[in-house]
A = this chain, B = another copy of it.
Amino acid sequence: MARPSAMSGFPELLPGQRLVEQRVLDSLQQTFELHGFVSVETRAVEPLDRLLSKGETSKEVYVLRRLQAEPDDDRGETDSASRLGLHFDLTVPFARYVLEFAGRLEFPFRRYQIQKVWRGERPQEGRYREFTQADIDIVGRDELAFHHDVEVARVMAEALAALPVPPVRLQVNNRKLIQGFYAGVGARDVDAVMRVVDKLDKLPADAVGALLVDEAGLDERQASLCLQLAGIRSADTSFVERVRELGVTSQLLDRGLEELAAVLEGCASVAGDRVRVEADLRIARGLDYYTGTVFETVMDGLEHLGSICSGGRYDALASDGRTTYPGVGISLGVSRMLVPLLAGGRLSASRSVPSAVLVALVDEGSRPVSDAVARRLRARGIPVEVAASPQKFGKQIRFAERRGIPYVWFPDPGTGSTGGQVKDIRSGEQVEADPDTWRPPAEDLRPRVLTGDAPNDD
């Protein structure tokens, strides 16, 4: 078969890049589990009617069909309740999972979910047809206290701070705050105002101001106040004072200000150079059904990728008609964040294999000796491979070098597997060593993640 070529929108990683991704996923998992979040995986497919109940994303769904489906089998596959599609996010399947297993879950239920999702979108940088997301959500039955909003913000901020990626800005706002403010200025159609303000990403402020008058029915003074609100941003709770100075009041606004201030205060112990947490009163997440806290996140210098990590509070993440499950969560776009950094060489691994040691081979007859050395090293948790063939030692060393393996072990077949010498091929230093006691420095045990523009700067 001919040599295959890459498929646009379906990024695949080379082994060294995958090692970086694994390290990132391990780090996320570790942070989430330290906070008591448990892993859930849902099947990749959902009934089409469930996927389409959100509406907006219907264009992006991949529908499945068995290649050799019999006409009879197919009958059941023509209506959207029994047709299957690939999930396009992890929220819809998680909401379904909560409903399906509610009787066997304990609430509030904290889960993280790291899986691939699929969207038939036109591919571009940071937008793929297959990509990995890492979501955290906390879900309650009937009610979910507000402090969980603070919790998910803090957990994700902590998770982001531990990653080897550029610093990020976690931008927080609150729907109650902006909706209460719009109501307070006298807007009749609060949602229309929100939809227009959401365009500040793409349009200049005066154009948005004109739309607020033309489309959202505000007068000039009201429009000006809404634009002033959207311009407020602060890394502490000083935004409260600035909103008060605009002279608008409503109960809902008060509640929103209080909640947003609590999120910022709650994140103070986590925020720092790696993750800046800011109130940004422009954020609305227009198309989603959020009812309180909302989040977006951008990476410094990579703002053009858009938000890599978004979410918020839903008063009804899921409902079966009798019971409602409120939730709050954030979804990290792992591929959107990592693939551009890997492709640009800003993130790489110190080697392309897990092996910390290559055990050299003196001759094919002494392979059992090399194998035994490897076994002794592995028994103490050191990743090892044995040379494929008894080439000259210079060639075996170059083989290790090409893979970035830092150490080559030279067995001494005369003494069996108990002795030998180990060489750090970076420094050239070579010492006598015992495979039952020698170990590499901790930083050499696993491949390291290298940051910066020099991918092989080891």
A346 within 8 A of B: no
Interface residues of A in 87-106 (CB under 8 A from B): 96-97, 99-101, 104-106
Size of the A side of the interface (Cβ < 8 Å), in residues, is 86
A61 with B50: CB separation less than 8 A: no
B402 with A106: CB separation less than 8 A: yes
The residues of B that contact A384 with a CB separation of less than 8 Å are: 34-36
A58 within 8 A of B: yes
Binds B, one of A273-281, A289-297, A352-360: A352-360
The residues of B that contact A352 with a CB separation of less than 8 Å are: 38, 106
The residues of B that contact A10 with a CB separation of less than 8 Å are: 43, 45
Interface residues of A in 183-237 (CB under 8 A from B): none
A437 within 8 A of B: no
A111 within 8 A of B: yes
A175 within 8 A of B: no
A63 within 8 A of B: yes
- Among B34, B130, B399, the residue within 8 A (CB) of A44 is B130
The residues of B that contact A116 with a CB separation of less than 8 Å are: 44
A431 within 8 A of B: no
- Among B13, B67, B375, the residue within 8 A (CB) of A63 is B67
- Min CB distance A287 to B, Å, is 17
Q: Report the Cα distance A6→B96, complex, angstroms.
A: 10
Q: Report the Cα distance A43→B105, complex, angstroms.
A: 32
- Min CB distance A30 to B, Å, is 8
Considering the complex of A and B, which 8 residue pairs feature the smallest CB-CB distances, nearest first? A36-B385, A66-B120, A36-B355, A33-B354, A10-B43, A59-B68, A15-B38, A61-B67
